[in-house]
Amino acid sequence: MDPTSFETHPSRYHHWKLAIEGDIARLTMAVDDAHPHKPGYELKLNSYDLSVDIELADAIQRLRFEHPEVKCVVFGADLDRVFCSGANIYMLGLSTHSFKVNFCKFTNETRLYLEDAAEHSGLASLAACKGTTAGGGYELALACTETMLVDDGNSAVSFPETPLLAVLPGTGGLTRLVDKRKVRRDRADVFCTTAEGIKGKRAKEWGLVDHLVSRTKWDAAVTEAAKALAAKQTITRGPAFTLPALDAKITDDKLAYKYVEITFDHAQRTASLMVRGPEAVEDFDSLVKAGTQPWALRAFRELDDCLLHLRFDYPEINVVAVRTSGNAEFVKASDAHLHKSQTGLAREVRHLQRRVLKRFDNTARSLYAVADNTDSCFSGVLLELALGSDRFYMLIDKDEKIGVETSVANAGSYTTSSGLSRIEARFYGEPGKVQQILARGVEGLVSSEEAEKLGLATIAADEIDFEDELRIAIEERASLSPDALTGMEASLRWVGPETLETKIFGRLSAWQNWIFTRANSTGPQGALTLYGKPERPQFQWKRT
């Protein structure tokens, strides 16, 4: 197996140039067509693939942690008359179905993180589109705080996926168009079926872009708009903290980090994920002053990397048993110090934990939390993993040493894509129970049996029945259709109000998943298959 590397550094970027100019950062798209994620296609016209977006995700993360002085990031391009032509079509045509959907999911998460930075971290963004801005390129622009388009009579923004490829804009474009930018529905309909896109004054009038600027005034206008956005930011970050490499040990059967480990049973299509708590009581601010990466940051960076490997490199794994180990008091102390700290860095770590937990929620695997050892540590922020899992199995031990505990971390800081906390989502029909659970959890250990009665555990069983009950549950789950499970889990996990995020990921889990398998797009005569070839696609005309 050739594992995917999700770690990089600006010194190793092939596709982006990062420059810091006071409180303005410039991320310039300069895609090197000779360095695709996999061989077999060229990344022409600033088209992108997974390697391009991995660098983009890294850059956004580093700006949040390593450059707290930056208040606005400007996205530009090195190519003349092309900002970004979107996801590389030949890459999509050569990719497996699993890869295509996970690629769309990853690019969505990256753009959501860019929006999250603007909302929570005082890091605004400006898309400076000095040329063609198509497909995923325009989706990146939509994720920015403001978008500027050059007015040269030629440059346009477009979503050509439906007319050219028989698929949908895969990075949340349809939802952002009408929900975020509030483009009128009929105009959005015209826009999404016009392959050449919309130019100039009409793009501005329809709300597709914020600014329209001539080439002669371009550079000055971009700088002025970036400074104006930076001046509006009131949230301060810092101190700056350099993100060190994770140094994961990766084999076909295991991913091992300091605090996170996942092992795979390929024959059974299952995995076991272990997340370990801190090794001592950690004072967040003291560790940061000493230049040491706190557990709260390192463990969740490791978990994030692990989840991405699980998605892309182990597509046949269907069920993941999620366990924790450690000292519950150390976890609660870590949570307390992190939430007590007044620094911008502590806030960034909390936001990172929230984003990683969302990535956990959004992972298309059946997730079964398991507490079956006295070393189990579903406490505080680690309890969020059990609350985010599809089921929670707990062993009833005679000494009542296996249980769960809540902390300040469970009181609403780590919201799901629906905007609810995981406890609120779990007891959506019983809002009064949330405070009862939180109050009981901080009193001390909630034993397995009590956790089941309170509704925190799905199944609590004694040692006579537990092992067989868990084994049968995992075997039965692994035997079910992965496609049906993905749709089912996505429908059940996002309890409560529908939001931009739940709409986007709901479509990826259902509609985009389905459309990518239809003959009209990916069949032998499909539009995506035949793109760039002289033959025209042959559609099956029945509506379903």
CA-CA distance, 353 to 347, in Å (whole number)? Answer: 10
Which residues fall within 8 angstroms of residue 511, CB to CB, at 6 or more apart?
168
Whole-number pLDDT of residue 1: 66
From the number of C-beta atoms within 10 Å of its C-beta (0-12, 13-18, 19+), residue 153 rates as: exposed
Yes or no: say if 59 and 27 are a contact pair by the CB < 8 Å rule: yes
CA-CA distance, 121 to 113, in Å (whole number)? Answer: 10
Which of 229, 265, 191 is CA-nearest to residue 75?
229
Whole-number pLDDT of residue 507: 86
Give the residue carrying structure tokens 């920015």. 144
CA-CA distance, 24 to 29, in Å (whole number)? Answer: 16
- Listing DSSP states for 369-414 in one string gives EEE-STT--EEGGGHHHHHHSSEEEEEE-TT---EEE--GGGTTTS
b/e string for 107-129 if b means 16 or more Cβ within 10 A? bbbbbbbbbbbbebbbbbbbbbb
Q: Hey, is 73 helix, strand or coil?
A: strand
CA-CA distance, 113 to 109, in Å (whole number)? Answer: 6
Question: How many CA atoms lie less than 13 Å away from 294 in the CB half-sphere?
Answer: 27
Hey, which bits of 266-399 come out as E strands?
270-276, 319-325, 366-371, 378-379, 391-396
Whole-number pLDDT of residue 16: 98
pLDDT tens for the chain, residues 1 to 544: 688 999 999 999 999 999 999 999 999 999 999 999 999 999 999 999 999 999 999 999 999 999 999 999 999 999 989 999 999 999 999 999 999 999 999 999 999 999 999 999 999 999 999 999 999 999 999 999 999 999 999 999 999 999 999 999 988 999 999 999 999 999 999 999 999 999 999 999 999 999 999 999 999 999 999 999 999 999 999 999 999 999 999 998 999 999 999 999 999 999 999 999 999 999 999 999 999 999 999 999 999 999 999 999 999 999 999 999 999 999 999 999 999 999 999 999 999 999 999 999 999 999 999 999 999 999 999 999 999 999 999 999 989 999 999 999 999 999 999 999 999 999 998 988 999 999 988 889 999 999 999 999 999 999 999 999 999 999 999 999 999 999 999 999 999 999 999 999 988 888 888 899 999 999 999 999 999 899 999 999 988 7
Q: Hey, is 434 helix, strand or coil?
A: helix
Yes or no: say if 319 and 270 are a contact pair by the CB < 8 Å rule: yes
From the number of C-beta atoms within 10 Å of its C-beta (0-12, 13-18, 19+), residue 74 rates as: buried
pTM equals 0.96
Under CATH, which architecture does the 10-231 domain have?
Alpha-Beta Complex (3.90)
Domain ranges of the chain: 10-231, 249-485
CA-CA distance, 460 to 448, in Å (whole number)? Answer: 6
CATH topology agreement for domains 10-231 and 249-485: yes
CA-CA distance, 200 to 230, in Å (whole number)? Answer: 26
Give the residue carrying structure tokens 């507490």. 371
- The CATH T-level fold of domain 249-485 is 2-enoyl-CoA Hydratase; Chain A, domain 1 (3.90.226)
The partner residues of 504 in beta bridges, in order of sequence, read none
Pairing type for strands 81-84 and 319-325 reads unpaired
DSSP label of 326: S
Which of 287, 302, 278, 280 is CA-nearest to residue 241?
287
CA-CA distance, 70 to 122, in Å (whole number)? Answer: 9
Yes or no: say if 416 and 494 are a contact pair by the CB < 8 Å rule: yes
